Amino acid sequence: MKSYKIACIPGDGIGKEVIPAGQTVLQTLADTLEQFSFEFSAFDWGGDYYRQHGVMMPDDGLEALYDKDAILFGSAGDPQIADHITLWGLRLKICQGLDQYANVRPTRILPGIDGPLKRCRPEDLDWVIVRENSEGEYSGVGGRVHQGQPLEAATDVSMMTRAGIERIMRFAFSLAQSRPRKHLTVITKSNAQRHAMVMWDEIAVEIAREYPDVTWDKELVDAATARMVNKPATLDTIVATNLHADILSDLAAALAGSLGIAPTGNIDPERRYPSMFEPIHGSAFDIMGKGLANPIGTFWCAVMLLSHLGEEQAATVLMESIETVTADATLHTGDLGGSATTAQVTEAVCGHIRNHGKIQKVA
Ligand code: NAD
Ligand code: MN
Please indicate, yes or no, if residue 150 is contained in any of the structural domains. Answer: no
Q: Ligand 1 in contact with 341 (CB < 6 A)?
A: no
Mark whether 120 and 237 lie in a shared domain. Answer: yes
Q: What is the mean pLDDT of residues 162-182?
A: 98
Same domain? For 251 and 278 the reply is: no
- pLDDT at residue 363, as a whole number: 59
- Find the Cα–Cα–Cα–Cα dihedral 114, 119, 122, 124, rounded to 10°: -150
Give the chain's mean pLDDT. Answer: 96
Looking at the fold, whether 225 and 127 belong to one and the same domain comes out as: yes
How many separate domains does the chain show?
2
Rounded-to-integer distance, Cα 259 and Cα 264, Å = 11
Do 309 and 208 share a structural domain? no
Q: Residue 234 falls within a domain, yes or no?
A: yes
* Start-to-end CA span in the chain (Å): 22
Ligand 1 centre to CA of 153 (Å) is 30
In a shared domain, residues 22 and 47: yes
Q: Are strands 102-108 and 70-75 parallel, antiparallel or unpaired?
A: unpaired
pLDDT tens column, 188-206: 999 999 999 999 999 999 9
Q: State how far the Cα of 349 lies from the Cα of 327, in Å rounded to an integer.
A: 12
Residue 260 lies in a domain: no
Whole-number Å distance between alpha carbons of 238 and 130: 6
Model pTM score: 0.95
**In this structure, which ligand is nearest to the CA of 85?**
1
Q: Which atom from ligand 1 is nearest to the alpha carbon of 281?
A: 2
Query: H helices within 103-241, ranges in order?
Result: 162-178, 196-208, 221-230
Which residue range(s) make up the domain with 321?
1-101+272-363
Calculate mean pLDDT across residues 240-266. Answer: 95
Ligand 1 pocket test: pick from 283, 292, 332 the residue with the most ligand atoms within 8 Å of its Cβ.
283
Q: Are residues 245 and 354 both part of a single domain?
A: no
Same domain, 323 and 246: no
CA-nearest residue for atom 44, ligand 1, is 282
**pLDDT of 28:** 98
Alpha-carbon distances of 231 from 26, 185, 225, 257, 328, rounded to whole Å: 36, 13, 10, 17, 28
Residues near 291 by beta carbon (within 8 Å), at least 6 away in sequence: 17, 341, 342, 343
- List the CATH number of the domain containing 353: 3.40.718.10
With beta carbons less than 8 A apart as the criterion, state whether 62 and 95 touch. no
